[in-house]
Amino acid sequence: MIYLGMEIRSPLMKVFPTQWRIEKRHHQIQLFLSVQSPTTKVHSSSSRGETKGATLTILVVPVVEPTVLSRRLSNSLGQRNSRGSLVVASDHNLRVGQSLQLAHSDVCLYTDASNLGWGASVLHDSVSGLWTPHKRSLHINLLELRAVRLGLLHFREQVHGKTVAVFSDNTTALSYLAKEGGTRSGSLNAEAQTILQWAEDHAIQIVTQFVKGSSNVLADCLSRQDQIISTEWMLHQDICSQLWRLWSYPTVDLFATRLNFRLSNLVSPFWDPMAIATDAFLYNWDHQDLYASHPFPLVRKVINKLRAASCINLVLIAPFWPQKEWFPDLVQASVDFPRLLPHRRDLLLQPHVRRFHQALPMLQLAAWRLSSEFSVTEAIPPELRNSWRVLNVIPPL
């Protein structure tokens, strides 16, 4: 079937240029190569209103075979003595066709970059590094693409001969990969071409997938090794063990990643094969003993989720901050004295860089034993519950 100047072959699920378009492209290439200077050709054509033909030569041909032609044409146009390499637009290249089917990924590569470093992860494995002083001055979009290249290089054995889905929160980097280059930035185009050429040499097909920065936690924290990341603190195991003995042993770690989990059943903020679920607020909390470690900005959402669920016991690590609007509701949901956590140097650890939290006195962290059952919380005498609002009355763990 011929549609919009292209031949669609349904049994193959591919689209091909018509024979007329192939012959026209060959003619345009020969005209392009027949002049002494390609630049002169383009400018002189523009003066006669013939720019459309010259533009089609560059823009339409790559659509037929994007991975090969777009990259080689871009390289050819950038070299003074390589105009003859435009002949790669041969019958073979033009007749390969473009698949209409979406590729199914074999490997998911998550990457992220900051002005300090980069990170990448595949399944249970991760890698990270810091930029040199020179690279720190480069544009973040270029660093994001460089993180993709470094991630592919590190995981070369896992990705060789596979379809790799590259997940990133940088739309510009993903665009340069998906469109196999671009014209707005020479450095981004060169980096994208390097990645695509390496992928072609290793029989790798790259597909791109946008992921929200808030969901790309692992790669993000790996790329920012010199920064404090609130989602990646881990409570010391001795403290956890004391809490389990005091109250009960939880079964699910609600806000965790593979870097900071304290229970084998964890709910991750992003997809992870180690996790039993993704997104703690979409996970069903009913009829479980749960553990939530210091999701400070999310305390209000945790309390609301607790209220909406049934038969829940929850050990929550949260600051003792009476001035917060959620504090009365936190006390109301408690079924025992909160326990102030000790200000030991190793209380909170950022595991991937072995960094300890330096502001523990300001946090006034406490462990709270909460229940979703109204009958349980209402059984607490009001005078006893009111005493839980006074810091000096709260016992240490």
Rounded to whole angstroms, the Cα distance separating 375 from 371 reads 10
The CATH topology of domain 107-223 is Nucleotidyltransferase; domain 5 (3.30.420)
Indicate whether 219 pLDDT > 80. no
Query: Who wins on pLDDT, 202 or 106?
Result: 202
Q: What's the pLDDT at 57?
A: 35
Q: Where are the domains of the chain?
A: 2-99, 107-223, 230-393
Indicate whether 166 pLDDT > 90. yes
**Fold matches, 107-223 and 230-393:** no
Indicate whether 325 pLDDT > 60. yes
Each residue of 12-55: pLDDT tens digit?
A: 777 888 888 888 877 877 777 776 654 444 443 433 333 333 33
Q: What's the pLDDT at 196?
A: 95
Report strand pairing: 98-99 vs 107-113: unpaired
DSSP characters for 55-111?
Answer: HHHHHTHHHHSIIIIIHHHHHHHT-TT-GGGGGG--HHHHTS-EE-SPPPPSEEEEE
Taking residues 292-303, report their average pLDDT: 86
Q: What is the pTM of this model?
A: 0.48
Which class does domain 230-393 fall in? alpha beta
> Residue 160 phi/psi, 5° resolution?
-60, 130
